[in-house]
Structure formats: C-alpha cells, structure tokens
Structure 1
Amino acid sequence: MTPLSPTDRAALLGIARASVLAHLGLTATPALPEAGPLAERRGAFVTLRVRGELRGCVGTFQPAGSLARTVAAMAVAAASEDPRFRAVAREEISELGLSVSAMGPIRRLLDRRSVRLGADGLIVKRGWHRGALLPRVAVEHRWDAEAFLRHACLKAGLPARAWEEPETEVEAFEAEEFGEEPAQ
C-alpha cells in the first residue's frame, strides 16, 4: 500500500466532491486517474458533514476497482444511500464538508486490548453480524480501548461485551484519514 501524498489526498477529495455534484446534476462526472496510487485497489469510506453534523458515511473494505473509483462511488452512496439520513439536497452543497478514509490492510486482533486508539479502526464479526468503526471514532468520543470494542460490537448488532467471546472475530485496520471543509 503506497502512502498518499498531499496531491493524491487533494485529488481524492476533489473526486469525492465532484462525484456528489455530478450525482446532483450540477457538474459532469469527474475523470478518474488510471495510474499511480489512486489506481491501486483499496477500500475507502467517505464521510459527509453539514455544519459539523454527520450527514452520511458509507464505505467498503472490498473495493470493486481503484481507490479513485471507490471514493467516487462511496461519495455518491454517502450522499444518497446512507439509510440513517435523507439524501443530500442541492441546497446543502455550500455547507457540505467531506472526509475520505483510505483503508489499509486488515489484520486479526489477537490481543483485543492492544487496539491502538487513533491508529486502529475495528471490525467485529460473528455470524451474519458485522460492524466497523473508523480509527478517528474512538478519539472523537474519547473512548478507551474497551469502550471502542463495546461500541464496535453494538454497531454490529451484538451485545456490548461480545468482543470477549471466542466466537466473535475482532480485526483491526489502519486508514489514512483526511478531509476538507465546505467549498465557499
């Protein structure tokens, strides 16, 4: 996994914003790079905020294509398919802030208390239940490792202490997280 340069990060933020604008019929669909780090196959999450409040967050760990293509698709999905929110409207564009989380490799977390707050995101799985929290979530909420694990379990629809049970899989991942404020 190649670390993203400031130029790559700016390009991904531009792709995310342009994809939302194109989805709303305000611009043409952005051209996507076919070489370099943005052409690598990586998962991504896109988070949208209006006036600092969460407005949508959608992502995937298993991309169907390049990082650029995944960011474009997840930006549109965050704006229109997050079941927690109504679709983003044209009137909100001037107040829309966005962030991208470019996913790193996933690893099994054998010592579950060894989660690195602010560096690791969590995936909790058991049966059909699955929940994921990005690395920044623990920091934003000032959670310790156990609280982070409990909330990942709850997001998966499991009991809060399911992470302590051997049949529950706990995985960690790193993500390069970066964002921009609304375009004025």
Structure 2
Amino acid sequence: MELSQEEKKILLKAARTSISSIFTDEKLPQVDYEKYPALKSHAGAFVTLTEHGRLRGCIGYITSDKPLYETVCDAAISAAINDPRFPPVRESELDDIEIEISILSEPFPLNSYDDIIIGKHGLILEEKGRRGLLLPQVPIEHNMNKEQYLDAICQKTGFPAGYWRTKQLKLSGFTALVFNEKELEEK
C-alpha cells in the first residue's frame, strides 16, 4: 500500500489524538474518505509506542474489517493501555511518547525459511493453537540474522529458541509500510 505524506500525517495525528482521548473528552477528527480513499481501505495495522527509545507498547491487527483510519485509532489506544507487557500509559508520559505505524500487507505463506528476507518480511507463526507476530523492522532494530529472527518468533509465540530447527513451522510473511512522527517532522 502506498500513502502520501499527508495521509501518513493524518494517521499519526489520529493515533496521537486517540491516545490523548483516553485522558480527555477530545474527539477524533473526521477524515474525508472522498479526498483520502486509501484511509478507507481495509488493511492490518500496528501502532508501536516508544519512550526515550524504549518500547512502551505495541498492538495491532493482522487484518481488519474496519477502515484503515479506524484500525489505526483502535490500535493506538490498545498499544497505550492494553499491552500486557507494560502498565497503561499515563497522561504525564504523553509528551515523551513517540508513535510509529506499520500498515501490513496481506499475509502470505512462507514455505521455506530460505524465503525470509530480513528487513522486508514480518513473520507470523501459528503453531499448536498459539500465534505470534514480529514486524519486519524488528530484526533490523535488533541486528538479528535469520536464525536469531526465527529464534525470536519462536520465543514470542511461547516456544523455546531453536524450536524452528526441529520442524518446518507454519510461518506466514507480510510486508509493511512503516512510518513515524520523527521521520515526518524531518521532511
């Protein structure tokens, strides 16, 4: 999916407004879907929150039946208050929170570990009733090679590192359009 700089800014502002609305009666701005039809499309999206460069929350949807604009708003609120790894974001933290949005492609099967391209493919592992996901930027941010990336998706899904060496796992891949507040401020 391609988005204009203006559409990216609209989504980032909507994510920030969604998070601040947890603490205020602020309403989300209405989006003109006639002018910005891409924001009405149905796509999965994740919102990642960082504070002083450290992960503060990350939640999203692999696919969505809602317009992208609404999906991003929902994911932003969930990342702020529902990520079980962190306490809910406090109002006093809002100025220090940075927002990154990842718009996901449709998932596709990865039939071989050789098909994984680091930095391009996010991973979804579905195994024994569990599901885990890593965004494509994760191995880049953590300087992972393919083996470390596979270890990480196994661990994220609740399996031991190296589990992927024991069998061919049911992996899906996806690509993502990733953008954040900092990069758009610089442009």
Same fold (TM over 0.5): yes
Q: Give CA-to-partner distance per residue, 1:112-135, whole Å, 9 cap, x none.
A: 123111111011111211111000
Identify the residue that residue 146 of structure 1 maps to in structure 2. 147
Question: Which residue in 2 is equivalent to 1:99?
Answer: 100
Structure 2 distance, partners of 1:66, 1:163, is: 35
Quote the residue 1:53 is aligned against: 54
Q: Percent identity?
A: 33
Query: SS state of the match for residue 7, structure 1?
Result: helix
Superposed counterparts of 1:120-159, under 5 Å: 120-159=121-160
- Where do residues 13-28 of structure 1 align in structure 2 (5 Å cutoff)? 13-25=12-24, 27-28=26-27
Structure 2: any 5+ residue segments left out of the alignment? none
Please tell me whether the aligned partners of residues 43 and 70 of structure 1 are also in contact (alpha carbons under 8 angstroms): yes
Task: After TM superposition, list the pairs within 5 Å mapping 1:1-184 onto structure 2.
Answer: 2-25=1-24, 27-35=26-34, 36-164=37-165, 165-166=167-168, 168-181=169-182
| Corresponding residue pairs, total | 180
* Offset at residue 161 of structure 1 (A): 2.5
- The separation in 2 between residues aligned to 1:30 and 1:113, in whole angstroms, is 44
For 1:39 and 1:143, the matched residues in 2 are separated by 35
Residues of 1 paired with 2:4 and 2:154: CA distance?
Answer: 33
Supply the distance in 2 between the matched residues of 1:83 and 1:7 (Cα, whole angstroms): 32
- Which runs of at least 4 in structure 1 moved beyond 4 Å after TM superposition? none
Residues 25-84 of structure 1, C-alpha deviation per residue, up to 9 Å, x if partnerless? Answer: 162233244340010000000001111111110011121301110000000000111111
Matched residues in 2 for 1:143 and 1:53: separation? 17
For residues 9 and 120 of structure 1, what CA distance do their matches in structure 2 show?
21
Write the letter of the residue equivalent to 1:149.
L
Structure 2 CA distance for aligned equivalents of residues 151 and 127 of structure 1: 17
Tell me if the contact between 1:121 and 1:133 (Cα under 8 Å) persists in the aligned partners: yes
Q: What is the CA–CA distance in structure 1 between the aligned matches of 2:65 and 2:159, rounded to whole Å?
A: 28
**1:118-155 Cα deviation digits (max 9, x unpaired):** 11101111121111100010001111111111100110
Distance 1:81 1:141 in 2: 24
TM-score scaled by length of structure 2 = 0.90
Q: Matches of 1:30 and 1:73 in 2, distance apart?
A: 14
- Structure 1 residues without counterparts, runs of 5 or longer: none
Q: How many angstroms apart in 1 are the aligned matches of 2:46 and 2:124? A: 14
TM-score with structure 1 length normalisation? 0.92
For the Cα contact (< 8 Å) 2:106–2:174, is it kept in 1?
A: yes
Secondary structure of the residue that 1:65 maps to in structure 2?
Answer: coil
